[in-house]
Structure 1
Amino acid sequence: LFMDISKAYDFVNIQMLELSMKTIGLPPRFISLVLDISLNRYNRILVNNETTDEYHVEDGLDQGEVWSPILWRIFYDALL
């Protein structure tokens, strides 16, 4: 079975991810670390060699992060 989910990482709700991690029994310290990193993210965009003002990233997982695939899988498995 193959399924392509467009922009999968962008739509991960961090509160639902927290619930999913608790449900499968991950250690509270690990969950706390994930939440701290996920809820305290700020981005800027480079446009015409200048950066925009910082904005707070509230949902989703960062593209290219080593742990994004496993966190997405934990989140998605709870939906099945």
Structure 2
Amino acid sequence: MTNALQLNNQAGIAGSSTAEIILTIQTCIDINLAQNKKFYIMVQDLSKAYDRINLDLLITAMDRLDLPKIFQMTIINLFKGHKNSVIIGDHLTNSFDLTTGIIQGEVISPILWVLYYDPLFEAINNTMTGGINLQANI
């Protein structure tokens, strides 16, 4: 599976760690500061990331990897029609329908996140705006 993903998609991939990502960012900063160049770093808030996955876009991401339709529909059906409620103090709120997202804590959720996010890495890798291409293995 990892050969089908973009090289810089390292979230939760065996053999990868946040240390690699931090080293890459620090190296980019150091190079640009040493060359006195203006540079930009884009970061994304991934809090509630699983909650915000659009299931239609997840299907598109799975299509991109030619995953069998029966597998795709099985995965999507796992996450459709869920209800949730919130514990506030000693009180449990009324349940509400979940219309987006995958469930944090499900065994398959981390790999689905990686599949979902991979098209963004592909788009970044295919841009013609230049940049620094670094790879590190720690």
Which category describes the TM-score, using the shorter chain as reference length? 0.7 to 0.9
CA distance in 2: counterparts of 1:74 and 1:39, whole angstroms: 18
Unaligned runs of 5+ in 1: none
**Pairwise mapping of residues 1-80 of structure 1 onto structure 2 (< 5 A)?**
1-2=20-21, 5-7=45-47, 8-80=49-121
Higher strand share: 1
CA distance in 2: counterparts of 1:2 and 1:10, whole angstroms: 24
Unaligned runs of 5+ in 2: 1-19, 23-43, 122-138
CA radius of gyration, larger in? 2
- Per-residue CA deviation, residues 29-77 of structure 1 (Å, 9 max, x unaligned), is 1111111122211101122323211111112221121111100000001
What's the TM-score once normalised by structure 2's chain length? 0.51
CA distance in 2: counterparts of 1:45 and 1:5, whole angstroms: 23
Equivalent pairs counted in the alignment come to 80
